Structure formats: structure tokens, C-alpha cells
Structure 1
Amino acid sequence: MKKSHTAQELADFVGAKLHGDATLHITNVASLDLAGPSDASFLANPLYNEMMKKSQAGIVCVDKSAEIIKGKTYLITEDPSLAFQKIAEFFLKDKNPTHTGFEAIHPSAVIHPSAQIGTDVNIGPHVVIARDVIIGKGASILGSSFISQGVQIGNDCVIFPGVTIREECILGNRVTLQPGAVIGSCGFGFATDKKNNTHKKLDHLGNVILEDDVEIGANTTIDRARFKTTLIKKGTKIDNLVQLGHNVEVGENVIIVSQSGIAGSSTVGNNVVIGGQVGVAGHLKITNNVQIASQSGISKNLTTPGPYRGSPAIPMDQYNRRAVLVRRLEKLYARVENLENLILKD
């Protein structure tokens, strides 16, 4: 039987102001276009105002600026996306993606006798746990993941299928690794023999540390340091298909979006947002509270907080002024050509 909660109960749960039918029963969540009368949905982007007006959703989470339509029920809050997320987690908490049906330690898992496994740990089919691994309580390691020697995994971590954690890497508490993530692969370092133009691989003897509440996206790779540590600090969230080179340090509560890359030994400050397909050259420093627009290229240190865009990246207001000038070039060229023609006629 589906859970059912009234609009008033949901408003109280997320701390929102209720507008509409307080007795309306909600049993699920859905997007605006798919939601029905018993579903909750949300509007966080004004681009979808028209969709919201046509939506059949029983309840819509909105902010104070949203247009209120007579006869509909709303939860009005400062952050409708966050309110909706809380409702979604409330309704879907029994659909935990780690509850695969394989509980405790699957008999096909291969675990070295020296490994230390905490209480309430789930280890799925065909997982390999190497020597001297330490796994904290409540961790879930799903099928076909490989945990190499000397790895430490904190409490309540979730490691989805096909993850590789290389030797001596350390995960804090509540770390999530999405499918296919590789933590601690060798850095891309080679010494070139100028006599015969061959490339000799440089050993990488360090590790990777992921602090508490870090999430790493699917098929993202984080290289181990050459000697010390590649460090991702607490609360940072990294999207799918991101590459972080050896010795990189990423600060607290950073967001890095898909297909971005940070070359070796660069440092990213706290509360930085890096858009998709951004490239950061090696040995650079990005200060706290920087926002970098998608497809930008970082070729020098960014020492002032604020938004940047372009390749090479420059402050956003400067980029916008240049963009306006570029759009005017065609007209400017025509004016210059006309002036040249007038001069030639004289």
C-alpha cells in the first residue's frame, strides 16, 4: 500500500507555507509534465511556468515569486527544489538503491583474512577486498567492485557497482562513489629520454583522500599523488566523467560538473563551482568562492572571488563587454569599408 500524506502534513514536514487544500492526499512525486492529482512536483526555473500552469500535479513546490493559480495547491518556500527533494526522499526512502536483495556478505565476495569489516556492512556479489583493508560500520559495497590493499573506508559509505579503489586510499564517512569511479589510479607522469624519444613511466607512490560527505560521479577518475596525497575535502560533489590529476587539492563544498579536468598539482579553494567541460592547467591556484562557466579554460591563477568565463577565462563582466563588441564587429567593418570607399572616391 502506498504511503499517503496530506498537503498540511507535507507543508509541516518541509517548513513551507501552504496555499490551497490542506486535506489533499499525496502518495508520490513526479515531474511537472508527468505528475497526476496525487503527486507532488516543483517549479524551480521560471522557464517552466507554462508547464506548471498545465500540470495535473496535486501539489507544486514554488517560491514566493511564482504565480498562484486559483484552485491549485502550493507549498511556498525559499527553495522549492530542496523542499521537493525532502518530499521525494520521504516517499522513496524504501527504494534505497543499495537494497539489491543481497544482504550482509555475499558468498561470491573474495575477502582477504586480514581485512577488518565493521558491523552492518553489505558486500555484494563478486566484490574483492584485498589485504589490510578497513571498512567502517554501515558501509555498502555493491557488486564487482575492487578494494585494493590498505584502503580505509569510513562509516556509512556507499560504493556502487564496478568501482575501483586503489591501494592505500582513504575514504571518510558517508562518501558515495557512483558506478565505474576509479580512485587512486596512477598519475599521468612520464620522463622522456631525449636520445631515443621513449617515455619512461614515473612511479606514483602517494594516495587519494576523500573526506566526509564527498560524492564522486560515475566513471570519474582521481589520480593518486606522486609522493603525498591527492585531496578532496569534505562536502565536495563531483559529477560523472571528471578527471583530476595527481597532487590536485579540492577544497570544501566544491561542485565540479561533468567532463571537466584539472591537471596535476592545481589547488581549488572552498565553495568553488566549476561548470561542464572546464579545463584547468597544472600547478594553478583557484581561490575560494569562484564560479567558472562551462567550457572555460583556466591558464593562470584566479585570485579574486567571483564568476569567470572564456578561454583563457576572464572575469564575467569583462567577458560580457567583449562579447558585445564582437557582435558589433560586422557593422563596424561595414562602416570602415564605407569610409574607405568615400576616401577613394575623393
Structure 2
Amino acid sequence: MKSFSINEIKNLVNGNLIFEINEVITGLETVDNATIGQATFIGHKKFAKNFENSKASVVIVSEGIELKDNPTCAQIKVTNADLAMAKLLEAFSPETPSFISNISPVAVIDKSAIIGKNVKVGAGCYVGKNTVVEDNVTLYPNVTVFDDCKIGQNTIVWSGTVIRERSEIGAHCIFHNNVSIGADGFGYRPSDDGRSLVKIPHIGNVIIGNNVEIGANSCVDRAKFSSTIIGDGCKIDNLVQIAHNCILGRSCIMAGSSGLAGSVTLGDGVIIGGSASIKDHTTIHSGAIVGAGSGVLADVPAGKTVLGYPATDAKEKMKQWVALRKLGRA
């Protein structure tokens, strides 16, 4: 079990200790559930009232939030409690699953594949021909990487993930369980006689930048031509669909169950809320936000927040909802 003194906690979060007690911290918990020996966090003033009955031994609190003194709980002031929490969660993180040997004897690696230094390949993995796996990559058991792929340094790929042929993955990426990279895009056209559907082949690939994280059971389809591109620093939640020929800029966020139809373009820093759907060939410009559950049918200007179905300016949509509610009461 990992443990830290309160002074060590203060140094880890670069905070200001304004009230100290002598206690060893062995874990982290919410303000309502924390007990002796645990640290908790308050990043918004609405949770300050919960602190009065908290049994935590130390609270990390954002500047500007005043708490009543608690003789059994130390206080550490920080600029941002959420960012401090991220540092402490990393410090308290348990060890990841270990490997008996770096390359499992029951992994299958093609002779033409290039495997870098300190690469870990778990049981049941398959690495195809002409694939390059750079230094310090970890492939957990039952990962499949097909032919002519490249995986950058320090990338971690969790069990069940399939990376299809010709995909290019950057450095320091994380793919969680059962991610699909580079499967065929979804494309069909009616046959000449109108009695069946003709599959449109997709012969492009997927290119994923550095520091990209993709959640469990999410899919990034390969392009019809050229590439589907995920920019550096993008964070993709679980159960997300990114269709063929989409292009995401830097540091985009897509929450769970959201989806992009084919050939959607996201600028830098775009945020897509959970369960939102984006129509094909749509551009959402840099800094725009799409609210949860929204349906985007047209381009969204830079910095704009849109809501609803069809998605429109958030302030205008709120006015519409208020008006509809008033009509219902009439």
C-alpha cells in the first residue's frame, strides 16, 4: 500500500499547507466518504458544506473557497483542486499488470516485423509482417496488429484491441480494451438493378498522432482514399464512432457514445458531448462545443456552443426551450 505524509502530499500538489495534523495518508476518496488516513478534494464552493462532516485527514481545496476549521483535517490550498487530484491519483496508482517475460512465447510475431527495445508483447498477441513496433511499447494479451503498421514509442495497447493493416500510431498513446483501428468504412450504393447493395471498398488507412487516448470499444475506421486522421492530444471516450475520412485537429475531446459520420472535420480543441451525432461532410471549427445528445447537421463556427436536434446556438436553443415550457403551462 502506498502512503505519504501530509507534507509530502503538499509538495506533490505544489500547495500551501494552512492547517496541519500528524497523519499518514494511504488513499483518496470523495469528501462524503473519506475516512481517517484519506485525502479528499473540494474544487467548487457548492461542496464546501460537505466538508463540515467529513472524516478525511486532509482536504485539497481550490483557492477562493473558504472552509471551516476542522481539528482532525489538514487543509492544503492549490490553484486548481482537479489538477491536484490528477497528480495524486497518479501517485497512488497501483502497479499495472506484470509480464513474466517481455515477449510471451505464445505470441506470434512475423519474422519481418521490427520490434524495438523494451517492448512487451503478451500471450496471444499477433504482430503482422513489416510492422514496426518502436521502443517501450506494451501490447497486453490478445492484441492483434496486422501488416504494415507502425506503433510509436511508449504506446500502450490493452487486450482485445485490433489494429488493422497500414495503420500509423504515434507515441505515448493509450488504447483501452477492444478498440478497433482501421476497419472498413461504412459505404454502400444500390446496384444497377436496384435489387442489392454494392460495397464501396476502403483502401486508405488511419493515422493517429501522439498522446492520443481512445476508450474501450471505440472505433476509428480507415479512409476510402488517403487517411482518417486523429490529431495529437485527442481524447476519445468509450463507445465512440469515428467514420472514414474524418479529420480531427489537436486536443479534441469526444465523450461516450458520440459519433462522427464520414468525412467530418474537427478543428483544434473541439468538444463533442456524450451521445452527440455529427452529419457527414460537416466541419466543426476550432474551439466549438457540441452539447450532449445534440445532432449537428451543418457547419459550426469557431468558438460556438450548439445544443439540441438539430443543433443551434446554445443561447437561442435555451430560449426556445423556455418558450415551449411556457406554452405547455398556458
TM score, norm. by length of structure 2: 0.95
Q: What are the superposed Cα offsets for residues 67-100 of structure 1, whole Å, 9 maximum, x if unpaired?
A: 31212312221211110121121122xx233x33
Amino acid at match of 1:290: A
Q: Retained in 1: the 8 A contact 2:167–2:207?
A: yes
Q: Distance in 2 between matches of 1:24 and 1:207?
A: 54
Q: CA-to-partner distance for each residue in 1:222-257, whole Å, 9 max, x for gaps? A: 100011000000000000000011000011111100
Post-superposition offset of 1:143: 0.7
Instruction: Decide whether the 8 Å contact of 1:6 with 1:22 is kept in 2.
Output: no
**Aligned positions of 1:295-310 closer than 5 A:** 295-310=293-308
Structure 1 CA distance, aligned partners of 2:83 and 2:112? Answer: 43
Decide whether the 8 Å contact of 2:274 with 2:292 is kept in 1.
Answer: yes
Counterpart in the other structure of 1:183: 181
1:47–1:108: structure 2 CA closer, same or farther, 3 Å change rule? farther
- Ranges in structure 1 where 5+ consecutive residues have no aligned partner: 335-346
1:70 matched residue in structure 2: 69
The number of equivalent residue pairs is 328
Counterparts of residues 1-346 of structure 1 (less than 5 Å): 2-21=1-20, 23-71=22-70, 72-92=73-93, 95-97=94-96, 99-331=97-329, 334=330
Distance 2:90 2:302 in 1: 38
Q: Secondary structure at the match of 2:59?
A: strand
Aligned counterparts of 2:156 and 2:30: Cα–Cα separation in 1 = 27
User: 1:267 Cα deviation (Å)?
Assistant: 0.1
1:192, CA displacement in angstroms? Answer: 1.1
Contact 2:139 2:158 in 1 (8 A): yes
Counterparts of 2:48 and 2:82, CA distance in 1: 15
- Quick check: 2:51–2:67 contact (8 Å CA) kept in 1? no
315-324 vs 62-71, which moves further = 62-71
Query: Partner amino acid for 1:207?
Result: N
Q: 1:302 to 1:184 in 2, by over 3 A?
A: same
Cα separation, partners in 2 of 1:62 and 1:306, compared to 1, 3 Å: farther
Give the deviation of 1:45 after TM superposition: 4.4
If you compute each CA radius of gyration, which structure gives the higher value, 1 or 2? 1
Out of 196-205 and 5-14, give the one that drifted further: 5-14
Pair 1:47–1:240, CA change in 2 (3 A): farther
Asked if the contact 1:248/1:264 (under 8 Å) is kept, the reply is yes
- 1:9 and 1:22, CA in 2 relative to 1: closer, same or farther beyond 3 A? farther
SS at match of 2:305: strand
For 2:101 and 2:312, locate their aligned partners in 1 and report how far apart those are by CA, in whole Å: 52
Alpha-carbon separation, structure 2, partners of 1:210 and 1:75: 39
1:340 corresponds to: none
Q: What is residue 341 of structure 1 aligned with on the other side?
A: none
State the Cα distance separating 1:276 from its structure 2 match. 0.2
What are the ranges of 5 or more consecutive residues in structure 2 without an aligned counterpart? Answer: none
Contact 1:8 1:22 in 2 (8 A): no
Structure 1 distance, partners of 2:281, 2:229, is: 15
- Give the secondary-structure state (helix, strand or coil) at the position aligned to 1:74: strand
Distance 1:26 1:100 in 2: 26
Q: Secondary structure at the match of 2:83?
A: helix
Q: Contact (CA 8 Å) 1:38, 1:57: kept in 2 or not?
A: yes
Deviations 1:166-188 (A, max 9, x none): 00001100010000000001000
CA contact (8 A) 1:123 1:142 kept: yes
Change (3 A) 1:234 1:21: same
Given residue 110 of structure 2, which amino acid in structure 1 is its aligned partner?
H
- Could you tell me how far apart the structure 2 residues matched to 1:8 and 1:285 are? 49
Structure 1 residues 248 and 24 mapped into 2: Cα distance closer, same or farther (>3 Å)?
same
How much is the aligned-residue C-alpha RMSD, in angstroms?
1.6
- Partners of 2:157 and 2:199 in 1: CA distance: 30
Q: CA deviation at 1:196?
A: 3.4
Q: Tell me, what secondary structure is at the counterpart of 1:320?
A: helix
C-alpha contact (below 8 Å) 1:102/1:124 kept by paired residues: no
